[in-house]
């Protein structure tokens, strides 16, 4: 799928026409997944992987109850904080905002079909590949 960069007006128009499978405002930015793009892939028999937040996950679940939702999480709260701080890209305020969001998102993790702990990147990627393979054959 491709990225589409839209003006606020274009985004609002597409929302009002119901063109997004899911969309959300996250940290003062809006993101969405066009329903037409997902449906085109599915009609070709392709699997679709979306990297979206929990708001989007709820919308996808409503539209596609058979969708498998995988929650990728840090090994601990302290590790998450450390990773965000070490990035060096966050102001104090944006760090507080991200951590507040993360706390809310972690609370819904138990509702997901699969939880994947991203402790070691190579191991997490291998585990994700196994999860995808398992669900593709079901």
What residues have CB less than 8 Å from 131, skipping those under 6 apart? Answer: 70, 114, 116
pLDDT level of residue 83 (50, 70, 90 thresholds): very high
pLDDT of residue 59: 92
Report pLDDT digits (tens) over 98-115: 999 999 999 999 999 999
For all residues of the chain together, what is the average pLDDT? Answer: 92
Q: What angle do CA 48, 45, 69 make, to 5 degrees?
A: 30
What residues have CB less than 8 Å from 109, skipping those under 6 apart? Answer: 71, 73, 115
29-34 and 70-73 beta bridge pairing = unpaired
CATH of 68-138, one of 3.40.50.300, 3.90.480.20, 3.90.850.10, 3.40.50.10090: 3.40.50.300
Report pLDDT digits (tens) over 30-75: 889 999 999 999 999 998 999 998 989 999 999 999 999 999 999 9
Q: Picking from 3-12, 22-31, 45-54, which range would have the lowest pLDDT averaged per residue?
A: 22-31
The percent of residues in the chain predicted with pLDDT above 70, rounded, is 98
pLDDT of residue 42: 93
Is this prediction's pTM over 0.85?
A: no
> Which CATH number is associated with domain 1-57?
3.30.63.10
Domain boundaries, the chain: 1-57, 68-138
């Amino acid at each position: 799928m491709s990225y589409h960069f839209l003006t606020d007006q274009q985004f609002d128009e597409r929302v009002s026409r119901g063109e997004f499978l899911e969309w959300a405002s996250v940290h003062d930015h809006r993101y969405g997944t066009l329903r037409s793009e997902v449906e085109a892939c599915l009609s070709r028999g392709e699997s679709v992987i979306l990297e979206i937040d929990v708001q989007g996950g709820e919308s996808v679940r409503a539209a596609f109850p058979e969708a498998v939702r995988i929650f990728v999480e840090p090994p601990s709260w302290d590790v998450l904080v450390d990773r965000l701080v070490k990035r060096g890209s966050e102001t104090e305020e944006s760090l507080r905002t991200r951590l507040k969001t993360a706390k809310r998102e972690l609370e819904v993790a138990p509702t997901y079909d699969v939880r994947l702990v991203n402790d070691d990147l190579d191991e997490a990627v291998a585990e994700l590949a196994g999860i995808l393979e398992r669900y593709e054959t079901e």
